Chains A and B, each alone.
Chain A
């Protein structure tokens, strides 16, 4: 590991071989995290990057002591973590403010719980409020504040307990771009001036630019199950401008790491990429409008069928976490290929871009039946039954043999939406049945 030289050597936090699985009602386990190792030293900001479903938020909760790992151990200052630890504070994605408490009340919450006495408590709370730029808002209620101000309260509440480790769970993702940028730079400035009473920071994010801008080290997670697939040190001086070529190059590299992994892993396990998709491969629901939209954007100028992922994400005002599922759905349907941080339409994709509505639906249906085994399976079952009708529960049960109930539900929802678009079957939500009858 290439730690920056000024970082203190003793680890604040050690995560060793941690795994987390959830037990389903029928007793099988769904693995969310597998064999994660991680060290956090004093004075560094470490970013956990990964797609949704990579278990990075789960890892954060294990570290916070909000949940217990099924394997391995989390150690804070050498002692195992068994419940919420004093010295670890968290900033939440949705702020987690109590609407019935004022700004001051929210900030004092952690101190009250630590039984800090009144004058001392108020002094520290006001100090934190000052530091984070909330002066004058002490008696406001969260509902009176804008999103940015609310998250500042979230920060102040965490800072006021002087935590050794600050955990941040996508703290800027509920904010608009401009506000997020302001909060990030404010935070980095205070961090750079060493004014924050914090030892080190663990940041969960899906925003690649944000991670590169803020962190000293990045850990990249794979999905299903979540594992650390690579570690990227960031040895660039602060402040890091978004358009700086070195920053851009690093962003590109992270994109490549994040898109290359799933295929490589599938290929490892099953020989080649095509056979990696099975009946029980979880599907992520991506609207067909988004699929068509990305295909059209790719086929038009200036991309002419091939685009750099970070570049097209920026052009379409999408974050990596929004764009990657769409890109991967295209790859799954063999309408596009992803290679080395680039996305490239193949022949079917090009044809789709040129086609009119009905033709598009036919083409989509063909690709769906050919490359998503679950779609072919549902269709086959419907064809084989004399009534051409099958209940949703039949397929849910089947899927739940290998995935959680929630994932099965989500997979079927994705399939229903795609199947409806391609008109390969009909679905009645009121009666929860699949059929071949389309109303004529």
Chain B
């Protein structure tokens, strides 16, 4: 075929490098060199990972910040791999689904730091080497990111439009091709949003996971988290200020280099086929699209994927089984039930052997205390942020300017700010039972704010005009127009904020400032103290109680609220 027959649009572009390539070149090889440098650190002996080796000099911070960021990236990649496999399995196999989805629901409710006991396990994988500690930290961050991503992907797989599904089948797409051509692109917008939410939560836990003690095992990985821990021990407010600045920078860079491009490309995958009025712009995406280096890389990946189309990488789906094998079903569910029963029995036996019933009641009481804190804080945050959010949301230019700020604040690991507050509590000798509480919501209140902003901006100008036309004002305006309009958004924000607060309670109810040790009575403090003491039974009990409260709160409060919001306050 001659080149003239080719339309201009598919002709290969020129091969000479352009200026975008230069930028791309620097970025790629800088990253590679850095990765190689860090990888060497993994083989260092564990003994080098002590708090004493953390330098409080601001000049050491860029290095620490980079290592923290790298942990995040690795955890995110792990979460993606988990998402693609776990959610796909759950969506394609009825039997797997029956187990995997409830499991995911429970995993989601387990407080992230409850997973910290796994550190001991990871350390045992690479005896005496730093790699195990790194793995443990990455795993903790992974547990804060993976679940909601997997849920989102599963949900997308289950809601692929019938016509696209039929197209894929009518044109004989194999499973591998179907996955990359249909399922992943379709799930992309929702997945990217969830990745962002995961990232926000992840920063919090990467900082918490870098300096952690489980019983006699103490891990201090070089990073912003351990820098802060050292600064707390040294009561150095200046160093804490530097750490906050470094973190701010890291999050901004992440946003620019990873999320902006992702969001901008998510528009590509959106199903609404109309062009969006204001497409998200991203200089980094432009760079990647215009640079030969990146396009080559992307082509290479696409080629690899396409290679899979030709080979049979995954088995073809069998024709839908008409008569479901009832015996196999019975066997499968029977096995699951047996295993579950055994698990409950063993856990119960273990707990009863170590903890008296009275103590258990005490822990339940502590759970009640923390629950009270969470609810009061959510209510307080709502009273403050709902009016402010509505005010901002109704002013489009203000909203455009402030929404990213609120999102940034949500992403910022609030635990970096804890020392500032704690030092004040110590200085003024305030009651930790009350004054430590706000720390729980310090980082998560912003979810309420930016969701309310989004809700208020989505209020149609027509409805607002109706309001002014009929002179609906004051409290009536709030009751009839503003609150109903933002309600579904508010509920989403409140759910996220509440979930985050439970997680934060483990870090927030116990705080140190130099030699001062502050404790607020609550379930979070109970878990934190059990972890520090290496008392597995108490830790397990604390986690079980917290999961149980979170799950029941979800079922009894948030889900009904959300369902109501969905039903009542949406037009269609």
Contact = CB atoms under 8 A, between A and B. Distances in A.
B514 to A, nearest CB: 55
Contacts of A96: 163-164, 166-167
Interface in A106-140: 109-110, 112-115, 119, 122-123, 126, 135-136, 138-139
Interface stretch (A61-69, A229-237, A336-344): A61-69
Can you list the 6 inter-chain pairs with the closest CB atoms, starting with the nearest? Answer: A139-B9, A96-B167, A110-B171, A143-B273, A100-B185, A96-B163
B360 interface: no
Contact of B1 (A97, A119, A139, A143): A119
Nearest to A117: B310
A109 B7 contact: no
A217 interface: no
B167 A104 contact: no
Given A83-B319, A126-B5, A113 B270 contact: no
B306 to A, nearest CB: 7
A82 interface: yes
11 contacts: A61-B166, A66-B166, A84-B170, A84-B171, A89-B171, A94-B163, A96-B166, A100-B269, A112-B177, A113-B173, A138-B7
Contact of A68 (B170, B181, B322): B322
A303 interface: no
A113 B176 CA distance: 10
Contacts of A22: none
A161 B173 CA distance: 13
Interface string B166-190: 1101111110010001100100100
B527 to A, nearest CB: 41
A99 B169 contact: no
A161 B171 contact: yes
A119 B2 CA distance: 11
Given A100-B185, A101-B181, A113-B177, A138 B274 contact: no
A98 B182 contact: yes
A138 B9 contact: yes
Contacts of B167: 90, 92, 96-98, 109
A285 to B, nearest CB: 16
B319 A82 contact: yes
A113 B172 contact: yes
Contact of B275 (A89, A90, A109, A143): A143
A157 B271 contact: no
Contacts of B275: 143-144
Interface in B215-274: 268-274
A282 interface: no
Given A90-B166, A92-B167, A100-B269, A126 B177 contact: no
A139 B170 contact: no
Interface of A: 61, 64-66, 68, 82-84, 86, 88-90, 92-101, 104, 109-110, 112-115, 119, 122-123, 126, 135-136, 138-139, 141-144, 150, 157, 161, 430
Nearest to B172: A113
Interface string B1-21: 100011101100000000000
B48 interface: no
Given A101-B181, A112-B306, A115-B309, A90 B170 contact: yes
A371 to B, nearest CB: 32
Given A92-B166, A139-B9, A113 B174 contact: yes
B568 interface: yes
Given A92-B163, A112-B306, A143-B275, A430 B172 contact: no
Nearest to A61: B166
B10 A143 contact: no
A177 B320 CA distance: 39
A89 B5 contact: no
Contact of B172 (A84, A92, A95, A126): A84
Given A89-B171, A98-B185, A139 B10 contact: yes
B268 A100 contact: yes
Nearest to B275: A143
Nearest to A83: B319
B166 A430 contact: no
Contacts of A68: 319-320, 322
Contacts of A135: 7
A170 to B, nearest CB: 12
Contacts of A126: 5-7
A123 B170 contact: no
Contacts of A90: 166-167, 170
Contacts of B5: 126
Nearest to A135: B7
Nearest to A105: B181
B7 A89 contact: no
Contacts of A82: 319
Contacts of B269: 99-100
Nearest to A101: B181
B322 to A, nearest CB: 7
Nearest to B182: A98
B315 to A, nearest CB: 14
Contact of A99 (B270, B306, B320, B568): B270
A259 B394 CA distance: 54
A143 B271 CA distance: 9
A90 B166 CA distance: 9
Contacts of A98: 164, 167, 181-182, 185
Residue in A64, A101, A109 with the greatest tally of chain B CB atoms within 10 Å: A109
Contacts of B310: 115
Given A92-B167, A100-B185, 15 more contacts: A64-B166, A66-B170, A68-B320, A84-B170, A90-B170, A99-B269, A110-B171, A112-B306, A113-B171, A114-B172, A115-B309, A115-B310, A142-B273, A150-B273, A157-B171
Contacts of B185: 98, 100
Nearest to A94: B163
A114 B309 CA distance: 9
Interface in B288-326: 306, 309-310, 319-320, 322
Contacts of B272: 143
Contacts of A122: 1, 10
Nearest to A145: B273
A374 B531 CA distance: 65
Interface string B121-132: 000000000000
Contacts of A65: 169-170
A430 B306 contact: no
Contacts of B169: 65-66, 84
Contacts of A93: 163
Contacts of B10: 104, 122, 138-139
Contacts of B309: 112-113, 115
Contacts of B320: 68
Interface string B450-486: 0000000000000000000000000000000000000
Contacts of B273: 97, 99, 142-143, 150
A113 B170 CA distance: 10
Nearest to B310: A115
A141 B270 CA distance: 12
Contacts of B271: 99
A404 B174 CA distance: 33
B268 A109 contact: no
A109 B171 contact: yes
A136 B6 CA distance: 10
A95 B271 CA distance: 12
B324 to A, nearest CB: 12
Contacts of A430: 567-568
Contacts of A109: 167, 171, 173, 181
Contacts of B7: 126, 135-136, 138-139
A142 B163 CA distance: 15
A260 to B, nearest CB: 33
Residue in B172, B174, B269, B270 with the greatest tally of chain A CB atoms within 10 Å: B172
Contacts of B268: 99-100, 141
A110 B270 CA distance: 22
A11 B182 CA distance: 35
A93 B7 CA distance: 29
